[in-house]
Amino acid sequence: MNIDKEQIVDNNKQLLSEHQSNIDFLSSKLANKGLDVDEIICRIEDFQVAIPSWALGAGGTRFGRFSIGGEPGSLEEKIEDIGVIHALTRTAGAVSLHIPWDIPSDINAIKELASLHSIAFDAVNSNTFQDQVGQAYSYKYGSLCNVHQQSRDLAIQHNLDVIKLGDQLGSKALTVWLADGASFPGQNNFRKALHNTQDSLQQIYSAIPDDWKLLIEYKPYEPNFYSTVIQDWGTSLMLAEGCGEKAHTLVDLGHHLPNTNIEQIVSTLLTKGRLGGFHFNDSKYGDDDLTCGSIKPYQLFLIFNELVWGMDQNDAGNPPLSWMIDASHNVKDPIEDLMQSLEAINMAYAQALLVDQKALAHAQADSDVSLCQEILQEAYRTDVRPLLTAARIKAGGAIDPIGIYRELGVRQNLIKQRGQNTVATGL
Ligand code: RM4
Ligand code: MN
Ligand code: MN
């Protein structure tokens, strides 16, 4: 379903005067603090987050899956759904494909469709955590780490195929997430598994084009429950360094044990120039894939505070990051959920842009701990939503994306077009 620009403009009219008074109030408050409001709005407008091709359908758990109706049945329909999100929010100008869930049948046609919606192709994701029908050698006991060379070779070849496909689409990064590990003590020889993984990654790395990044995810557990080969950022960094300068660590917010200090990991990786990308979601227990900012918004702000400061300094020459939402939608309409995540991400980013870094550096130098906290919380406690709205209006988006999505009955229309029981590829 295409959303007409006129429909957005019309809907915005009813909300414009309230927005105007909100932004006037905030702008004068920020200007008094010496902040350049227009520049902040431009930076928010420029910030684009990719939507993964598997996020437009209902997510499932091992206990079941409940359809939401009108789910996209093809890659084309997925791109149309991202088109809706981008038209309303103007912050989701990219798609991240998961291969083989979403292999385009006609590369040129899919590129055309994506550009019609102003959507670029961000990182491509390989999948060696599931066997495909008729696969000659299994990944049941691991892919890049497997004790059998045939399974490793298959997984390496799959990654090379994904790079080739991504290259044709204009992607500039390959994301590798491995389920490899062991569910029981003694199942794997740790050193051999790590050695095989490094060796396989090096072979994949040798096919990474010069202007690409290889992004290596880590995760402490699941689907294996005793050990994961790339269990943490340190292992990922070590493997990335073992590949070469185009290899980087990717931080997925859900891939940490409870209470891990993720903002410190971000800072350390930026110090090394090895932070390659981000998968946004939120969690209370593990890899819960919940809506961004729904559980720990302050953590998200602290992470963005490190990102903004780190990327502004960038003394280690860290490349621009790949941003993606990596969430699951078990009970909510995925389009609404993704728009909520985008809003939360942008809020944390905007709040981080407000942090008085000079004052913070002085307070740190004076060991004035209370003042340090005051400075951070002053930014965090600012209601930055008018800045986000201003950025959306400037880019042609909606003042109230979810409101207009409901008013236009987008989901009902999708159900009419696609049916109640369509199932999207993905988890
Ligand atoms: C994993 C990981 C990957 C994602 C898969 C579907 O836990 O987060 O990034 O591609 O899930
Ligand atoms: Mn991820
Ligand atoms: Mn995950």
List, for residues 33-51, the tens digit of each pLDDT value: 999 999 999 999 999 999 9
Q: What confidence tens digit (pLDDT) does each residue in 355-383 have? A: 999 999 999 999 999 999 999 999 999 99
CA-nearest residue, atom 5 of ligand 1: 177
Closest ligand 1 atom to Cα of 427: 6
CA-nearest residue, atom 9 of ligand 1: 177
Instruction: Give the pairing of strands 181-182 and 124-126.
Output: unpaired
Q: What confidence tens digit (pLDDT) does each residue in 119-143 have? A: 999 999 999 999 999 999 999 999 9
Closest ligand 1 atom to Cα of 98: 10
Q: Shortest CA distance to 339 belongs to which of 347, 330, 419?
A: 347
347 and 314 in contact (C-beta within 8 Å)?
Answer: no
pLDDT band at 185 (very low <50, low <70, confident <90, very high): very high
Q: Ligand 1 pocket test: pick from 159, 252, 255 the residue with the most ligand atoms within 8 Å of its Cβ.
A: 252
51 and 96 in contact (C-beta within 8 Å)?
Answer: yes
- Give the pocket of ligand 1 (CB within 6 Å): 125, 177, 217, 252, 279, 287, 326, 427
341 and 293 in contact (C-beta within 8 Å)?
Answer: yes
Task: Tell me whether residue 317 is exposed, middle or buried, using C-beta atoms within 10 angstroms of its C-beta: 0 to 12, 13 to 18, 19 or more.
Answer: exposed
**Lowest mean pLDDT: which of 59-63, 278-282, 354-358?**
59-63
CA-nearest residue, atom 6 of ligand 1: 427
Q: Is the pLDDT reported for residue 31 higher than 80?
A: yes
Peptide bond into 223 cis (omega under 30): yes
Q: Shortest CA distance to 403 belongs to which of 71, 2, 10?
A: 10
- What pLDDT was estimated at residue 274? 98
- What pLDDT was estimated at residue 60? 86
> What is the C-alpha separation between 405 and 407, in angstroms, rounded?
6
Closest ligand 1 atom to Cα of 127: 10
Within a 13 Å sphere around the CA of 272, how many CA atoms are in the beta-carbon half? Answer: 21
**Lowest mean pLDDT: which of 59-68, 217-226, 324-333?**
59-68
Give residues with Cβ within 8 angstroms of 369, minimum separation 6: none
Number of other residues whose CB lies within 10 A of the CB of residue 102: 23
Gyration radius of the chain's alpha carbons:
22
Task: Output the average pLDDT for the chain.
Answer: 97
**Cα 132 to ligand 1 centre (Å):** 17
Closest ligand 1 atom to Cα of 250: 9
> What is the C-alpha separation between 340 and 336, in angstroms, rounded?
6
